[in-house]
Structure 1
Amino acid sequence: MNTSSLDKRSTIISIGIIGTMFFTFGFISWVNAILIPYFKIACELTNLESYLVAFAFYISYLLMSMPSSYLLKRVGYKRGITIGFWIMAAGALCFVPAAYGRTYGLFLVGLFTLGSGLAVLQTVANLYITLIGEQERAAQRISIMGICNKGAGILAPLVFSWAILRPSDKVLFKEIPLMDEVLRAATLDALIMRVALPYFVVAIVLFAIGLFVNYSPLPEIAQKDEKTDTARSSVLQFPNLVLGAIGIFLHVGTQVITVDTIINYADSMGISLLEAKSLPSYVLTATIVGYLFGILLIPRVVSQKRMLQIASVTGLILALLVCTVQHPVHWLALHMDISIWFLCLIGVPNALIWAGIWPLALAGLGSHAKQGAALLIMGLCGNAIMPMIYGAIADHSSVRTAYWVLVPCFMYIVFYAFKGYQFKYWRKD
């Protein structure tokens, strides 16, 4: 079906279904913020080992993006969505035997499988939400989807922590290192078993959503054949795209670092997991505020390109403040260093960077636009690699010193926002 021919009712239903997908993306992705510190305790991991959670989950975007495109070409977009949800359900089910054996490697297999299903869904969802409805309102729809995604991210750590944490855990976590080997093993086994039931429920829900989509009125996308642009044979010949993909890689890396490390950072200050469990939600709340700024200000008040420049500079300033400023503050019933709140505020500019890089990177690609978009999606593997770099630095220095990794990331994004997007050829003839 040609999506431009949909009536208003069908369009609203389709947007609602895609919104459910974006909500699911957010819930499954951002629950890692709780899994990382929880696995660190229950599986007795180093910082670097604990961030394998993010690595296993997000590296699937690099490895599975191309296979996903072939799958979608073979079975269609709607059927591909169903399969994507069912792949995710299989990944969630892996958590059950992993919990019974307290096998960290099997947890990572489950996370990779979850990420693989998401790679299929992400490939479809961004295309759908762009094509469904009026083209001039596509940016508005994308912002709404972003709010669905981050809104789920706010709920995920809170819901999951409610499901697996107990009021007595604050004392228990301090006692575990003092226990003898037998008691410690039994205690850790009991802790890790808490994730089995929640992920079993998640698996059922994901399977049910896939079944619902399969029988829903969501239309197939009928795309017109495009003429081949013979001027340049590869997307790698477009500097604005390649430099933009690097920008996406670094941008999503900064985003996942701020969310997935903030609880461990609070722990380094003596703040327990039970007290810090809301911090990832604060980062994502700041991100939603950034989306709202974008909806209200672009393009009425400021152009998208100018907003990217403002956001990148703001992100750089906040990253420097995280690394250099220390001062105790008491806010929202929490007594913490002000650097944690600077880390939360990075969510505001981060909300505006993705939407700013995307159109600049795809400008001038013509018939290469689909391949270019796939390259940008592959940049999401920054979510996997950047936390590992952070974790390695944290193990060899401190969790705060490791935040210096954010500074060069934002410096590069500043470069791209002001200069990098202008490069249309690698060299002048």
Structure 2
Amino acid sequence: MSALSAANQRTAIIIIGILFFCFGFVTWLNGTLIPFLKLACQLENDIQAFFVTSAFYMAYFFLALPSAKILGKVGYKKGMALGLFVMAIGSLIFIPAANSRSFPLFLVGLFTQGMGLALLQTASNPYISIVGPIESAAKRISIMGICNKLAGALSPLILSAIVLKNAQSIENNIATTTDPVAREVLLGELAQRIIPPYIIIAVVLTILAILIVLSKLPEISNPEEPQSNGKAEKTSVFGFPHLLLGVLCIFFYVGVEVLAGDAIGTYGKAMGISLDTTKYFTTLTLVAMLVGYIVGIFTIPKYLSQQKALLGSAILGILLCVFIYFTHGYVAIAGIALLGLANALMWPALWPMAIDGLGKFTQVGAAMLVMGIVGGAIIPPLYPALKDSLQFSNELSFFCCAFPAYIYILYYALSGHKAGKTNIAMPIPAV
């Protein structure tokens, strides 16, 4: 990759920062959508409600590799604009979904948004990683994380204030209304609340896509493939064990990140806390993540290596899981919120560690890492499934979902990231 001037690097960081803000805003609306759609669509249990995260994050798995091919043809810049357009389409699908109160149609809209985000993530994460020196990539990604999590902290507050205003009172009225017609009127009025914010989101995304196309965002190429030093040249992305292990690490990391952000409200409600209060809990997790990203900016790489940041984050996550299990009420909620702090530096550390040395396979490697985001579709729904179907306690259900994930992240931080980079090949654990 030809080196970019300092001015071009600043331009790229500002533009990508705006993108991270936008898809952070959309992504972290899911924590509010879960209780909203459970109420508006009269879902039977939390397992159904958590299909919100499954539909949204499953798109990453199916669209990541096609996204890499799209980027190979149109480049990073046009690929980002296309991703924004697709997200806008997904937002507009919420209009007929709300009018018909169709939960499956809401899921289609969420999946479509996820499609656009898969393209955006496949483009923007490697872009910000290789737009400057790889050793400071975590610092740049931390800046992106602040943009992302600042939006994430704001979005639940904004959407909750609109769609879940007087939520507990509405839930009680719906539950006690015996007249089917009156009940449908109440549900219809509630569902209509979602339309204006998503129209605004669609308009903003469309305008941003147009501005990206017209911008002077510099196009970059993948890094040159490293010299083989007498070793056989890699013929495919599967020749990089540290990447494959990194994909699994992303899977677990995103799973626990979404669990801490989107399930915290459900966790609180299961302990008897009012919906009027729990609707704001997602913001607590995002604020903790925001603090973590600020720490990352000032410490990586000057005081803290990317590997040490991941190691410390994994250890903190493990300790907090134990703390949450043995506490209750608002103390436990505080522990879940603090998982945001444990998770904050994982994404910035994981990406550069996993794509380091991929050379011409960088785009495909990035797409595989984006596929790992499917962890957000699988791990969070396990929490209500264990709680409601297998009758695990609220605390045990959460612990069983989060604790093993942090154990694997600890393994990757200690040794998994070195697999294939030494003379001793490390086995790839079965998924």
1:323 matches 2:321: no
What is the rounded CA distance, in whole Å, between the counterparts of 2:162 and 2:186 in structure 1?
17
Which residue of 1 is the match for residue 402 of structure 2? 406
1:365 CA drift (Å): 4.2
Query: Which amino acid is the alignment partner of residue 275 of structure 1?
Result: T
Identity among equivalent pairs (%): 40
User: Which residue does 1:176 correspond to in 2?
Assistant: 174
1:7 to partner: Cα distance? 5.5
CA distance in 2, matches of 1:427, 1:199: 46
Give the conservation status (yes or no) of the 8 Å contact 1:246–1:379.
yes
Query: Separation in 1 of the partners of 2:109 and 2:366?
Result: 27
Q: 1:184 to 1:411 in 2, by over 3 A?
A: same
SS state of the match for residue 314, structure 2?
A: helix
* Residue-by-residue CA offset, 1:236-277 (whole Å, 9 max, x unaligned): 343322222111100110000011011111212222222222
For 1:116-265, list aligned pairs within 5 A. 116-133=115-132, 137-167=136-166, 169-180=167-178, 181-223=180-222, 226=225, 230-265=232-267
1:303 equivalent in structure 2: 305
Which is further off, 11-20 or 193-202?
11-20
Deviation per CA, 1:136-174, whole angstroms, max 9, x where unpaired? 54332211111000000000001111222323x322212
Counterpart Cα distance in 2 of 1:221 and 1:420: 29
Deviation at 1:217, TM superposition (A): 1.6
Relative distance call for 1:245 and 1:346 in structure 2 (3 A) is same
Q: Pick closer, same or farther for the CA change 1:135–1:305 going to 2, 3 Å.
A: closer
What SS class does the counterpart of residue 346 from structure 1 fall into? helix
2:223–2:359 contact (8 Å) kept in structure 1: no
Is the Cα–Cα contact under 8 Å of residues 65 and 364 in structure 2 kept in the other structure? no
Alignment-derived partner of residue 29 in structure 1: 27
> TM-score normalised to the size of structure 1?
0.90
Residue 333 (structure 1) aligns with: none
Structure 2 runs not aligned, ≥5 long: none
Would the aligned equivalents of 2:142 and 2:345 in 1 still touch at CA under 8 Å? Answer: no
Stretch of structure 1 that moved more, 395-404 or 37-46: 395-404
Gaps in structure 1 of 5+ consecutive residues: 327-335
Native 8 Å contact 1:249 1:380 kept in 2: yes
Q: TM-score scaled by structure 2? A: 0.90
Deviations 1:367-393 (A, max 9, x none): 444433322221111111111222211
One-letter amino acid matched to 2:22: T
CA deviation vs aligned residue, 1:25-46 (integer Å, no higher than 9, x gap):
1000001010011111111221
Q: Is the 8 A contact 2:76 2:124 kept in 1?
A: no
How many matched pairs? 416
Q: Show the counterpart of 2:411.
A: 415
Aligned to 1:19: 17
Distance (Å, rounded) in 1 between the aligned partners of 2:341 and 2:34? 23
Residues 238, 13 of structure 1: CA spacing in aligned structure 2 closer, same or farther, 3 A cutoff?
Answer: closer
The equivalent position to 2:38 in structure 1, one of 30, 37, 40, is: 40
SS of the aligned residue for 1:220 comes to coil
Q: CA RMSD in A?
A: 2.3
Q: Deviations over 1:336-360 (max 9, x none)?
A: 4311100001111111222333344
User: 1:76 is paired with a residue of what secondary structure?
Assistant: helix
Matched AA of 2:398: Y
Q: Tell me which moved more, 11-20 or 341-350.
A: 11-20
